[in-house]
Structure 1
């Protein structure tokens, strides 16, 4: 999901009257997975913008409620789509996996984790009492084992590729059952030292489901109608609200059901949006998620720090719109940097040098 999209990764069926050989040379790329990626990254940025705005002291209760509901959709959708395009990496030699995919994740993480933590320290958002340069150094030294920032996504994705490669000879049903058991437990309130550890346990099921159930997901997407979408979203919301209102979130398995229901809901919404001319920009965003992902928190914290340090206070209810403004700014900055980097010889900001990665991912 966080890799460049220079070549088609999702071939559609040849259209009527089209030459099959031509189709093999230039496979069509379906729109909805890119829309799903764009939707997921957009929701992630909004979630972080809302949380940091709330921690600054602004009233954003409405968006916090919205984000809490969307929690069971954005991450399952994110990792399911990522898993859909991981199949080839489960069969390559370990050396190729390491030099290709894992090197990419490691490069981006090692480069941007210090930036993220440094911005937190300088803006006062470190979330550690009396954090100083010693705290920063300690956390960076251990970051490959205990990630501290929102870059836990990248760390977790790397682990998922390793897991998928290691378990390639284990029957898919066994993998999914084991991952479901772990996820049911982790989603019931496990709070380890690192978000990356928790995310790995909570969402391995969805990455593996995308990997092993891709044909099923594709057939489901092909048949999506407005009625199906309304039904899928209604089921997801029904399970989500029931689990929350009945206080079942800490009961192993209950919140997992809400997350599972979030996948078809997210897929149907993505499919319908992909049929809208321009796809509301989500398809374009979905093919450029990495720069937005690694930079958005720093942009949000920097802007909030400017507001706070200059005594700019936004009272409620207008304050409810502040995260939306921060969301738009963070995405714009990330996309602009992503477009600018290769033009000024800074491709290395978002990918390892070609001489180091060999044939690429």
Structure 2
């Protein structure tokens, strides 16, 4: 889903021992983005599994997954922005041909398929009425579907491209502009996700050098302490935000915080509910958690087989992302859930336990991802995952060509790193 990464090309045409060592060190440092994608996509699959299994939210695995909540999608968007810096040197035609096209086609093809199979499962097994065409159109247009990430990658890349010539203060204003729409449209997920995730994407793009330096220092005590302090601060913000939203104990501090929230809501020009105003602390929590996510991924990169597994998963996020939802519906839902799943954790047989069905559902979801990966290798059918490149424009001297950026997107969709020629410096 995000553009892959590559390692800096050797500085000398004649290979020597010293450049080889330098390149190896760079490769080790730059493992963390793939690991971040791997951790994120596994967390996404686990989240959707807990939604499919009754009582799964009460399991230890689901509770541990909650700790990933401030990191799961934020890491995805941060890494996506991190590898979108080449957008700042492209024309819109190059952006569309080399990037947007490869998000748009899977979204337009696989979202209706996923929506249809999901609704069909409900129609067959629960008697729910079939959805009308208007529901499909609205669900896709407002990104209220399983593949919303692709939708927002298109939107955020366009915003990044549109701000490339703006001064810093204007970019900040653009990122904060969605807040002004909260009074009228705050209940829409399109606005909520833009408010929460657009800043993370833009931080990944515009602060790439700073992020790289932090990742290189992530094993040092100062970086670890810094990350832990910010992560704990994010947890504290989450506790305070929940308390303000519920507002059960009206102590002096709570009254002041609620008043401050209401003043901010008035400044935005409308009456906003506690859910509406929670968009802002949700953003703050995720920004504060990002350094901990980077530190975690850098440390995971040192764990041998675990690192290799997470990198492999991280380099195949697109087929897993698209395929896991279909696996949960077609393999688990149609074949197992409504026919065999009976949950009774008091039963003597492990067959009835929630954890057993979580493992089964997770395996079905990952099998769906693997089948989608195999489909991407089939001629013509694979175009639904990795569409053929559009006609290229003339190469502009001194910058990456459409062919290079397109090769990067094709490589990423197939789970491969970017070609070195297109690696953003």
Identify whether the pair has TM-score above 0.5, normalized to the shorter chain. yes
Paired residue for 1:124? 122
CA 1:167–1:237 in 2, change beyond 3 Å: closer, same or farther?
A: closer
C-alpha distance in 2 between matches for 1:236 and 1:243: 10
User: Aligned partners of 2:329 and 2:303: how far apart in 1?
Assistant: 33
Answer whether contact 1:34 1:282 (CA < 8 A) is retained.
yes
Q: Aligned partners of 2:110, 2:169: CA distance in 1, in Å?
A: 36
The Cα of 1:140 is off from its aligned counterpart by 2.9
Equivalent position to 2:86, from 85, 88, 106: 88
The count of residues paired between Structure 1 and Structure 2 equals: 344
The aligned counterpart of 1:204 is 198
Q: Partner of 1:72: helix, strand, or coil?
A: coil
Measured in 2, the distance between the counterparts of 1:315 and 1:231 equals: 43
Give the alignment partner of residue 229 of structure 2, picking from 229, 235, 238: 235
Moved more, 151-160 or 167-176: 167-176
Residue 169 (1) aligns with residue 165 (2): yes
Unaligned ranges ≥5, structure 2: 246-273, 347-352, 393-401, 410-425
Unaligned runs of 5+ in 1: none
User: Which residues in structure 2 correspond to 1:4-153 (within 5 Å)?
Assistant: 5=4, 8-11=5-8, 17-18=18-19, 28=27, 30-53=30-53, 57-62=54-59, 63-124=61-122, 130-134=128-132, 137-153=133-149
The verdict on how the C-alpha distance between 1:177 and 1:328 changes in structure 2, with shifts beyond 3 A counting, is farther
Stretch of structure 1 that moved more, 115-124 or 206-215? 115-124
Quick one: which of 283, 291, 301 aligns to 2:311? 283
After TM superposition, give the deviation of residue 224 of structure 1 in Å: 1.3
Which residue pairs with 1:214 in the alignment? Answer: 208
In the TM superposition, what is the alpha-carbon distance from 1:79 to its structure 2 partner? 0.4
> How far apart are 1:228 and its partner, in Å?
5.4
What's the offset of the Cα at 1:234?
3.5
Shift in CA distance, 207/184, structure 1 to aligned 2, threshold 3 Å? farther
Q: 1:12 to 1:275 in 2, by over 3 A?
A: farther
> Are the aligned partners of 2:70 and 2:286 in contact in 1 as well (CA < 8 Å)?
yes
**Partners of 1:109 and 1:155 within 8 A in 2:** yes
1:273 alignment counterpart: 300
Contact residue 147 and residue 196 of structure 1 kept, 8 A: yes
Partner Cα distance (1:185, 1:76) in 2: 22
**Larger Cα Rg: Structure 1 or Structure 2?**
2
Q: Which moved more, 1:77-86 or 1:169-178?
A: 169-178
Give the deviation of 1:183 after TM superposition: 7.0
CA contact (8 A) 2:34 2:310 kept: yes
Q: Offset of 1:104 from its aligned partner?
A: 1.3
- Report if the CA contact (8 A) 2:120-2:130 is conserved: no
1: CA distance, partners of 2:67 / 2:159: 29
Structure 1 residues 131 and 238: CA distance shift in structure 2, 3 A: farther
Q: How far is the alpha carbon of 1:9 from its aligned partner? A: 3.4
Structure-1-length-normalised TM-score: 0.82
Change (3 A) 1:28 1:244: closer
TM-score normalised by structure 2 residue count: 0.71
Residue in 2 that maps onto 1:338: 373
After superposition, the C-alpha distances for 1:116-142 in whole angstroms (9 at most, x for unaligned) are: 10111111189x9944142xx223334
Residues 183-231 of structure 1: per-residue CA shift (max 9 Å, x gap): 7997xx9431xx3442222110000000011111111111112745753
2:291 alignment partner in structure 1 = 264
Q: What SS does structure 2 have at the residue aligned with 1:207?
A: helix
Q: Distance in 2 between matches of 1:9 and 1:353?
A: 22
CA RMSD, 1 decimal: 3.4
Q: How many angstroms apart in 2 are the aligned matches of 1:184 and 1:310?
A: 48
2:338 pairs with 303, 309, 318, which one?
A: 309
